[in-house]
Amino acid sequence: MAGASKKRDRWDSSSEEENDAKESKEPQLAKKKDTKKDSLPTHNPLLSGCRSVYDTYERLARVSEGTYGIVYRAKDLATQEIVALKQIKFDKEMIKEGFPLSALREVSVLLAMSHENVVNVREMVVGDALDQVFMVMEFMEFDLKEGLSRFRDALAQSELKSILLQIVAGMQHMHSKWLLHRDMKTSNILVHRSGRVCLCDFGLARSYQEPQLQQLTQLVVTLWYRSPELLFGETRYGPAVDMWSIGCIFGELICKDSIMQGQGELDQIDKIFEMVGVPTEENWPLFKKLPNAGLLRWKPRKREDLLIFQKFPVNKPVSSTQAFLDVNGFDLLRKLLTLNPKQRITADDAMQHPYFKEGVKPKTPRFFCE
Ligand SMILES: Nc1ncnc2c1ncn2[C@@H]1O[C@H](COP(=O)(O)OP(=O)(O)O)[C@@H](O)[C@H]1O
Ligand SMILES: [Mg+2]
């Protein structure tokens, strides 16, 4: 049983050394599979608890390590299927306090959703130690951030549409379940071989109500994707925060780089005003009620100076690596990047936008078909 104990050691350590060793394990795998296959029960976690990671998955390689977890590529020992396992990170303090809140959120949110554009969680598995809890997900080829950096040419209009439509569809599902994502960005969107795109990383997600009476923390969303209401201290925000982030992602799909890269909160506000203009009595009447509204002064900006018109000229390619937008595409971008959250387009309305209905049809992007 040396093989089994080696496998166990691997799950018990967080070393990256296994990367080279991944395919050399096949014979052991086959042996294990033969003995397990016939007896594999239909697993009901409510009756028998979570299965053991050692008996069920072989760790192949580490994919990424982030704030809340380490993601591994692994193989299902029974079916040989490749899956992703996200090991929930516990620090010493957390163990004292119990199961980490972010992980609990992520798991409960994911269990509440079922949609082709939201990453699918199959089960939770555990190791021997208290801090070994893993979320088993379908394996996705890469995240969108990496996808964009791999792809040197501009995305075609049809490809751009397909990716954005899928992101909006996943978000529409999430919002219809009264859930906010609160950390939408290209590294939290996964790309499957088939061209399917899924939202992932629900560590900051939470439920919301309408009207939003509860106060929520405004310390959410990675700075470059953070909406103006959050930056001005709004605590009663809603799904519009995710739609702003989707606007930033749309721009990034076009330019292949984040479109507003602030160096801090004030600079981020500056970048937003440069891009889409400043709040006025007409475009955002309730702006002055925001906690930080009185802290800043700014000059009005002329419409023709706004960066959005320069960066995204309608029907005019800017360079061979940058995609371009037709009239409908530009209209949707503006509606997503609308300062006033009450006027910002919702996921429901975005799904019905003419950008997705007229002109070229959405098509699976080339870099997924290779
Ligand atoms: N199911 C998956 N398949 C393949 N890669 C994944 C999967 N889930 C996450 N990843 C990769 O791991 C990274 C981190 O995962 P994520 O869920 O965003 O956690 P974190 O809280 O660490 O950001 C993602 O950006 C992506 O590159
Ligand atoms: Mg993430």
Query: Hey, what domains does the chain have and what are their CATH numbers?
Result: 47-139 (3.30.200.20), 142-369 (1.10.510.10)
* Measured distance CA(149)–CA(62) in Å, rounded: 20
For ligand 2, the distance from its centroid to the CA atom of residue 65, given in whole angstroms, is 9
What does the pLDDT look like over 174-197, one tens digit per residue?
Answer: 999 999 999 999 999 999 988 899
The environment of the single-atom ion ligand 2, i.e. residues with CB closer than 5 A, is 188, 201
| DSSP β-ladder status, 69-76 and 142-143 | unpaired
Could you say which of 12, 76, 131, 183 is catalytic?
A: 183
CA distance readout (Å), 220 to 53, 203, 224: 32, 11, 11
Structure tokens at 190: 């996964």
Q: Give the number of the ligand closest to the Cα of residue 106.
A: 1
Our mutation pick for probing the ligand 1 site, out of 81, 82, 83, 86, counting the most ligand atoms within 8 A of Cβ, is 86
What lies within 8 Å, CB to CB, of 2 at 6+ separation is none
DSSP per-residue codes, 4-61: HHHHHHHHH---SGGGTTGGGGHHHHHHHHHHHHTT-PPP-HHHH-PEEHHHHEEEEE
Tell me which residue of 149, 342, 125, 139 sits closest to 228, measured CA to CA. 342
Reply yes or no on whether 349 is catalytic.
Answer: no
* Measured distance CA(21)–CA(6) in Å, rounded: 12
Q: Give the number of the ligand closest to the Cα of residue 88.
A: 1
For ligand 2, the distance from its centroid to the CA atom of residue 187, given in whole angstroms, is 6
For ligand 2, the distance from its centroid to the CA atom of residue 116, given in whole angstroms, is 19
The β-bridge partners of 65 are 70
Alpha carbon 115 to its chain's center? 14
Our mutation pick for probing the ligand 1 site, out of 134, 185, 200, counting the most ligand atoms within 8 A of Cβ, is 200
Tell me which residue of 187, 178, 203 sits closest to 113, measured CA to CA. 178
Return the residue whose CA atom lies nearest to atom 13 of ligand 1.
Answer: 64
**Residue-by-residue pLDDT tens, the chain, 370 positions:** 556 677 787 888 766 654 443 343 333 333 333 444 444 455 666 666 889 999 999 999 999 987 778 999 999 999 999 999 999 887 766 666 677 777 888 888 888 899 999 999 999 999 988 778 899 999 999 999 999 988 778 888 899 999 999 999 999 999 999 999 999 999 999 999 888 999 999 989 999 988 877 899 888 999 999 999 999 999 999 999 999 999 999 999 999 999 999 999 999 999 999 999 999 999 999 999 999 998 888 888 888 899 999 999 898 888 888 888 999 999 999 999 999 999 999 999 999 999 999 999 999 887 655 4
Q: How many CB atoms lie within 10 A of CB 192?
A: 16
Q: Hey, is 160 helix, strand or coil?
A: helix
DSSP per-residue codes, 104-123: HHHHHHHHH---TTBPPEEE
Q: What pLDDT is stored for residue 308 in this prediction? A: 96
Q: Give the number of the ligand closest to the Cα of residue 187.
A: 1
Structure tokens at 346: 């919702």
For ligand 1, the distance from its centroid to the CA atom of residue 199, given in whole angstroms, is 10
Q: Write phi, then psi, for 274 (nearest 5 degrees).
A: -60, -35
For ligand 2, the distance from its centroid to the CA atom of residue 298, given in whole angstroms, is 34
> Is the backbone peptide bond immediately before 45 cis, with ω within 30 degrees of 0?
no
Computed from CA positions of residues 108, 113, 118, 123, in that sequence, does the dihedral angle turn out positive or negative? positive
Q: What is the pTM of this model?
A: 0.89
Return the residue whose CA atom lies nearest to atom 27 of ligand 1.
Answer: 143
Ligand 1 first shell, C-beta below 6 A:
63-64, 66-69, 71, 84, 86, 119, 137, 139-140, 143, 187-188, 190, 200-201, 203
- Residue 200 alpha carbon, nearest atom of ligand 1: 17
The β-bridge partners of 206 are 180
What lies within 8 Å, CB to CB, of 107 at 6+ separation is 121, 124, 135
Tell me which residue of 69, 59, 77, 78 sits closest to 16, measured CA to CA. 59
Q: What pLDDT is stored for residue 4 in this prediction? A: 63
Per 3-state DSSP, the chain is made up of helix, strand and coil in percentages (nearest 5) of: 40, 15, 45
Q: Write phi, then psi, for 216 (nearest 5 degrees).
A: -115, 160
Contact 293, 255 (CB under 8 A): no
